[in-house]
Amino acid sequence: MDLNITCIPGDGIGPEIVAEAKKVLEKVAAVYGHKMNFTDILMGGASIDVHGVPLTDEAVATAKAADAVLMGSIGGDTTTSPWYKLPPNLRPEAGLLGIRKALNLFANLRPAILYDELAAACPLKEEISRAGFDMLIMRELTGGLYFGERRTVEENGVRKAVDTLVYDENEIRRIAVKGFDIARKRRRKVTSVDKANVLDSSRLWRKVVEEVAADYPDVTLEHMLVDNCAMQLVKDPAQFDVILTENMFGDILSDEASMVTGSIGMLASASLNDTKFGLYEPSHGSAPDIAGKDIANPIATVLSAAMMLRYSFDLDREADAVEAAVKQVLKEGYRTGDIMSPGCKKTGCREMGDLLAARIV
């Protein structure tokens, strides 16, 4: 199978971690009989330095022509980089917003997994962390409160701000379908999170999700109010498989879930459109202070590549092999500095990539 992948190394540690993810993907191709076709494009600060803008039309066209996009990290030091003296629409992060819009990426997936070997880093009680957890938060990315009409006015000498939360049934249905499809690749359970006891938008959300669920009799659906979900994430995270929710709730809950894993350096993410196409990236930032020092943790990017194999190419066996390699390397005690603990063997970014590639079988 030919896999045509556009890569965005980006800024900071981005080029280093993408290089290691490519290394792992090349090993997957060699073992399982595929061909990886990588095309690099510039985005963010790297694009500003060359083209004067964070994202060019040519880069967007190249991304659209691929089967999937693998990205490193975007941005720099906001206090010292000349990029942040530019107008907001010309700063690095504007490129990320631009490509999400251009590629119609409406479904954001953020796994939160607690590996046995990293359980000590989990901030939860030991009796909770001991059970482990493996959840995926699916957040609607292009609608809701963040994209509704907004205004700030002054009425009778009093300032007033208004933000509008709008969803139509088509927006809800397409993210729900993605959620149920992905649940079929996991443990076949969807927890739909809303605020249906208060909000009309949530009542519509719940109704449409139930309509979609009727087409997936093999997937269990439960509803949960967002405030209860926030509590359950720290009380019993092992109960969750796929959490399906709207934009603002997903923004908050995914950050909460990421923190209970103990290390953001391990967290992958994906943003999908209504086809198999997706953009895959680590959840962490560009870490410009450690760029070029061969100490970055490439595992989140490697796990993002595994998500790409699973969701854009339907190569579940290959994705399993990458995830198994990560678990095996951790079991053997290898650690980059950010996840280092006593008694473990410290590695750099390139060595970690070598170790992971060597364990692809």
For 94-114, the pLDDT digits (tens) are: 999 899 999 999 999 999 999
Residue 161's pLDDT is what? 97
Check whether 258 has a pLDDT greater than 90: no
Beta bridge partners of 201: none
Residues whose CB falls within 8 Å of the CB of residue 75, separated by 6 or more in sequence, listed in order: 11, 12, 44, 45, 83, 92, 93, 285, 286, 288
Per-residue pLDDT, averaged over 41-52, amounts to 98
Among 84, 134, 146, 181, the one annotated catalytic: 146
Q: Is 23 a catalytic residue?
A: no
Residue 120's pLDDT is what? 82
Q: Is 195 a catalytic residue?
A: yes
Q: Indicate the residue type of 294.
A: D
Residue 122's pLDDT band, with cuts at 50, 70 and 90, is confident
Among 49, 200, 215, 255, the one annotated catalytic: 255
Distance, CA of 179 to CA of 277 (rounded, Å): 15
Q: What is the mean pLDDT of the chain?
A: 95
Among 11, 195, 241, 280, the one annotated catalytic: 195
Q: Do strands 68-73 and 107-114 pair parallel, antiparallel, or not at all (unpaired)?
A: unpaired
Q: What share of the chain is helix, strand, coil (3-state, %, to 5)?
A: 45, 20, 30
Distance, CA of 244 to CA of 219 (rounded, Å): 13
Domain boundaries in the chain? 1-122+267-361, 130-260
Per-residue pLDDT, averaged over 309-324, amounts to 96
CATH fold match for the domains 1-122+267-361 and 130-260 = yes
Question: Is pLDDT larger for residue 131 or for residue 242?
Answer: 242
Distance, CA of 215 to CA of 249 (rounded, Å): 25
Q: What tokens does 154 get?
A: 């002054």
Per-residue pLDDT, averaged over 235-263, amounts to 93
Distance, CA of 357 to CA of 26 (rounded, Å): 8
Among 40, 181, 251, 338, the one annotated catalytic: 251
Q: Is 251 a catalytic residue?
A: yes
Distance, CA of 95 to CA of 80 (rounded, Å): 19
Q: Is 146 a catalytic residue?
A: yes
Note whether 241 and 265 are within 8 A (CB).
no
Fold of 130-260: Isopropylmalate Dehydrogenase (3.40.718)
Fold of 1-122+267-361: Isopropylmalate Dehydrogenase (3.40.718)
Which percentage of the chain shows pLDDT scores above 70? 100
Among 227, 314, 316, 320, the one annotated catalytic: 227
Check whether 263 has a pLDDT greater than 80: no
Closest CA to 311 of 272, 281, 268: 272
Residues whose CB falls within 8 Å of the CB of residue 339, separated by 6 or more in sequence, listed in order: 118, 121, 263, 265, 266, 297
